[in-house]
Structure 1
Amino acid sequence: MWGWLKTLLGLGPKVPRISPKEAQEKLKAGALMIDVRTPLERKLVKIPGTQGLPLAELARRWESLPKDRPIICQCESGSRSQQAAEFLASKGFEVYNLAGGLSAWQAAGLPVKKGDLQR
């Protein structure tokens, strides 16, 4: 509830924001990217190789994440993933936030996998 206020006041853990190209390099070096969007959002479009872990489930499932490799948090625009990254940083993970999220990833011309949901 107070997460947004802590962020506004600069009281939360400092999490580096990285560009899509920097994220791609970290992925090649063995980092894990988690997508904190909802399952429905992931069905529409996702970054190949990402692991889905919705923000709403993170507090219950964070212990299943590996501590021996960097984690990049990703959402649509970078807001939810910032919350996730700050939470994971407070648990001792090496974590980064994908600046601009999936939108920035697509704008950079990086690969995405589109779903087949009927609209």
Structure 2
Amino acid sequence: MKTHKLMLVVLLALVPVLASSTNFSALTIREVGNFLTALPTDFYGVQPPAAKAQIDAIKPFLLDVREPNEYKEGFLAGAVNIPIRDLPAKITSLPKDKPILVYCGIGHRGAMAVVFLRGQGYNVKSIMGGYKAWVAANFPVVKE
């Protein structure tokens, strides 16, 4: 249930980000909220060990939606940094022909990116717990 509430909060936070280019009716927002609250707990999310296995096996596109200063402090090898606020404007730089794994600091912005990118037809999942969970699992990171 906690994740369902998080997804609803994510949707409500995402609407203003997209509002500049999209008009949402109250009915649309309510219907999307109903859809999100019915999703299973781990829908479109993967725990760090499963994400690491995917990275090693299928080499998905890694998308870091944190701010540049956060990215400079450490990131997953091969990740491309596009802050969540810039994602709508830079969406065409993302591949549609391969899976995308997205992450942020702790998972909130990653979840927003998943909602947005899924709505645009991308095959995307979020690393649950974000960069913090990845580091806590003792998986490798790059530091500049």
Tell me the TM-score range normalised by the shorter chain: 0.7 to 0.9
Q: CA deviation at 1:30?
A: 2.1
Q: 1:16 Cα deviation (Å)?
A: 1.1
SS, match of residue 140 in structure 2? coil
Larger deviation, residues 100-109 vs 20-29: 20-29
- Structure 1 segment 7-26 matched on structure 2, within 5 A: 9-12=33-36, 15-26=43-54
More helix by share: 2
Q: TM-score, normalised by structure 2?
A: 0.71
Partner of 1:49: 78
Q: Which structure dedicates a bigger proportion of its chain to strand?
A: 1
In the alignment, structure 1 residue 60 sits paired with structure 2 residue 89: yes
RMSD: 2.2
Query: Which has the larger Rg?
Result: 2
With a CA cutoff of 8 Å and minimum separation of 6, indicate the structure with the bigger relative contact order.
Answer: 1
Q: Flag structure 1 segments of 5+ consecutive residues without an equivalent.
A: none
List runs of 5+ in structure 2 lacking aligned partners: 1-9, 14-28
* One of 118, 135, 143 as aligned partner of 1:89: 118
Structure 1 vs Structure 2: percent identity of aligned residues?
Answer: 31
How far apart are residue 10 of structure 1 and its match?
4.3
